[in-house]
Amino acid sequence: MSDLTNKDAEQDTKIAVMSSTLDNSIRRIEMVHKRVDDTNETLEELRQRVRKLEMWVAGAAAVVSAAITIIGIAIAADARPAYSFTEDSLTDAPCATEVSLSSVVTEISVKPSEEKE
């Protein structure tokens, strides 16, 4: 009988250890689930923040492009025609490039050379 009692005591001890290990494992799993839930909440919060920042960036880009367009139109409305730089320029005189080209180069012709025999 003492062998049977020892065996029962040994099995009871093993059952108690296994039960304690199972309880600890269940607590750890619950902690992991809680951490995962907290991480998911944090992730969703970060996604919302990124969406909000994307909307701010898109709005700022729209404002900048509108400003550049308006400035470009205002500058284009005040611009002089292109021919004013070559015909009478801004000082009512011919353009320097036009003057130099007309006085330096008059005509270019190519004459065939006579071959010597």
Residue 117 is assigned to a structural domain of this protein: no
Residue 110 is assigned to a structural domain of this protein: no
| Between 110 and 116, residue with greater pLDDT | 110
Residue 112 is assigned to a structural domain of this protein: no
Q: How many domains does the chain have?
A: 1
User: pLDDT digits over 7-34, tens only?
Assistant: 889 999 999 999 999 999 999 999 999 9
Residue 50 is assigned to a structural domain of this protein: yes
Residue 39 is assigned to a structural domain of this protein: yes
Q: Using alpha carbons only, what angle is made at residue 47 by residues 54 and 41, rounded to the nearest 5 degrees?
A: 160
Residue 41 is assigned to a structural domain of this protein: yes
Residue 54 is assigned to a structural domain of this protein: yes
76: left (phi over 0), alpha (psi -120 to 50) or beta: alpha
User: What range defines the domain where residue 77 resides?
Assistant: 6-104
pLDDT at 42: 96
Residue 115 main-chain phi, psi, to 5 deg: -80, 140
User: pLDDT digits over 49-95, tens only?
Assistant: 999 999 999 999 999 999 999 999 988 887 666 555 555 555 666 66
pTM score, two decimals? 0.46
Residue 44 is assigned to a structural domain of this protein: yes
